[in-house]
Amino acid sequence: MDSYGKYDRPVEIAEGVFWVGFRDENTTLFCNPYLIVENDQAVLIDAGSRTDFAVVMMKILQAGIDPGQIVALIYQHYDPDLCGSMPNFIDMCDNTTLRVLSENSNTYFLSYYIHRDKYQVLSSINEHNFEFSFNNRSLRFISTPYAHSQGSFVTYDEKTRTLFTSDLFGSFSSHWDLFLQLEEACYTCNDYGNCPKGKTDCPLPGLIRFHQTVMPCEKALRHAIRKIKELDMDMIAPQHGSILNKKRDIRLVADTLESLNGVGIDAIV
């Protein structure tokens, strides 16, 4: 099976957690929507762009979920690559209890994606004490301000200890796979352009370049990474790039990002 064929259906990455994204071979910025299923209800995180809506919806159906079973759409910031399909999902879910959840400062911008008569679906995580439960499955929201927007946050699934990090831990990936693959040599390598194994597809330069480009400054990135490192995580599922599912890899990447220089405005001033 080729690399595309592996990802033409939803992939269960943890118990009840499905990657429902799109493997686009013509881009270096891969987008990863995630579906969390608990019994007869589901939550969709960072659902994707308008152009990806049909693929994402197809994979939700393939995961055995009817749109009416989706009780919440979570948007961890307001960029169109994760919010563009919001009006499509609101219409398709046709659920009177549906909530569009985001941080308070994001909801103002999210309102521009939907029709005025649907504004009532918008709900602030601040008013929910940064928690949301469905069918006794608990999601916890952790604020990561200015990483990269004012209202950015990450979502922690307590059942699987999976952290959905949106743009944090994202990457520009020329050789993309759903899961990050690091080798022993990666832990001692200090020259990402000269792999001791002779590989040309080291994932770390893409991670570094992404954060230097997308994050506004070193201070905001370090603050976010330090908050994340306090959590007990088995997996990091970013909106861009690849999933980290080994604790040792999570530590290495987190330490690399925490010490990163030349981020955003700090590369100029």
> Tens digits of per-residue pLDDT, 143-156?
999 999 999 999 99
**When comparing pLDDT for 135 and 27, which is higher?**
135
What is the model's pTM? 0.93
- What's the whole-number mean pLDDT along residues 63-81? 96
**pLDDT higher than threshold 70 for residue 198:** no
Task: State the chain's mean pLDDT as an integer.
Answer: 91
86 vs 127: CA distance, rounded Å: 21
- Confidence check: pLDDT of 11 > 90: yes
- Higher pLDDT: 253 or 193? It is 253
Residue bearing the bigger pLDDT, 78 or 117: 78
pLDDT at 52 over 80: yes
Going by C-alpha positions, the residue among 98, 129, 124 that lies closest to residue 110 is 124
Pairing of β 131-134 and β 122-124: unpaired
What CATH number belongs to 5-267?
A: 3.60.15.10
Report residue 266's pLDDT band, with 50, 70 and 90 as the boundaries.
Answer: very high
pLDDT tens-digit series, residues 20-42: 998 766 665 678 999 999 999 99
Average pLDDT over residues 36-54: 95
CB atoms inside a 10 Å sphere around CB 9: 13
Tell me if 151 sits within 8 A of 105, measured CB to CB.
Answer: yes
CA distance 20 to 46: 11
**Least confident among 100-114, 190-204, 245-259:** 190-204
Give yes or no for a contact between 136 and 38, defined as CB atoms under 8 angstroms apart. Answer: yes
Q: Whole-angstrom Cα distance, residue 252 to residue 239?
A: 19
Residue 4: predicted pLDDT? 47
What pLDDT, on the 0 to 100 scale, is given for residue 3? Answer: 47
Determine whether 5 is exposed, middle or buried from the number of CB atoms within 10 Å of its CB (0-12, 13-18, 19+).
exposed
Q: Return the H-helix or E-strand segment holding 123.
A: strand 122-124
In the chain, where are the structural domains located? Answer: 5-267
